[in-house]
Amino acid sequence: MKASLLLGSLALVLALSGCGQKAAAPAAGDKAPAAKAEAPAAGPRVIEITANDQMKFSVTTIEAKAGEDLKVILTNAGTLPKEAMGHNWVLLTADADAAAFVAAAMTAKDTDYVPASLAGQVIAKTALLGPRKSDEVSFKAPAPGTYVFLCSFPAHFMVGMKGTLIVK
Ligand code: CO
């Protein structure tokens, strides 16, 4: 009597564990869609850059692969007013003349110092930021080459507010 009860219990345990295994299979199947959902969430590679009242970018060299999805987040960590110490991040095309670009930018206050006539030389740009402000821009890394990025606020490029994007 006792033995048959034990056997019965064993059978029940086996049946339950069998069910457990069956249940595990769909659970493993559920994992695949979850992993897929994570892929878009990975998104672009984020590059955080800080600008300050000393007219410097915290990042002056960016390396990337052609076609790579990038997101630049610029933060103005300074305290001086935007009118005196605004900062932006402007990535120019490989054939752009950076000195000529910033020369034209000086008289382009109405368009936040990004000259409309040279818009074709801009690959990506953030807004012009006042103190404690941030902006971001997403773009694909262009063809292999070397690209200048800069702050186009008057005179900032001249004192070194610039850097290089190297695409391989
Ligand atoms: Co600046």
Convert the pLDDT of each residue in 90-116 to its tens digit. 999 999 999 999 999 999 999 999 999
Q: How far is the CA of 26 from the centre of ligand 1 (A)?
A: 56
Q: Answer yes or no: is pLDDT of 27 > 80.
A: no
Q: Please say whether the beta carbons of 90 and 150 come within 8 A.
A: yes
Give me the domains of the chain, ranges plus CATH numbers: 45-167 (2.60.40.420)
Distance CA 22, CA 81 (A): 65
Express each pLDDT in 136-154 by its tens digit.
999 999 999 999 999 999 9
What is the 5 CA–ligand 1 centroid distance (Å)? 83
* Pair 68, 43: CB distance under 8 Å: no
Tokens found for residue 5: 């009860």
Which two structure tokens, joined as six digits, stand for 88?
Answer: 């932006």
C-alpha 64 – ligand 1 centre gap (Å): 23
The whole model's pTM is what? Answer: 0.76
Stated as kind and residue range, the H or E segment containing 150 is strand 145-150
Ligand 1 center to 6 CA (angstroms): 81
* Partners of residue 47 on adjacent β-strands: 72
**How far is the centre of ligand 1, averaged over its atoms, from the C-alpha of 95 (Å)?**
22
- Write out the two tokens for 161: 């507010």
What percent of the chain shows pLDDT beyond 90?
75
85 Cα to the center of ligand 1, angstroms? 6
Q: Which amino acid is at 28?
A: A
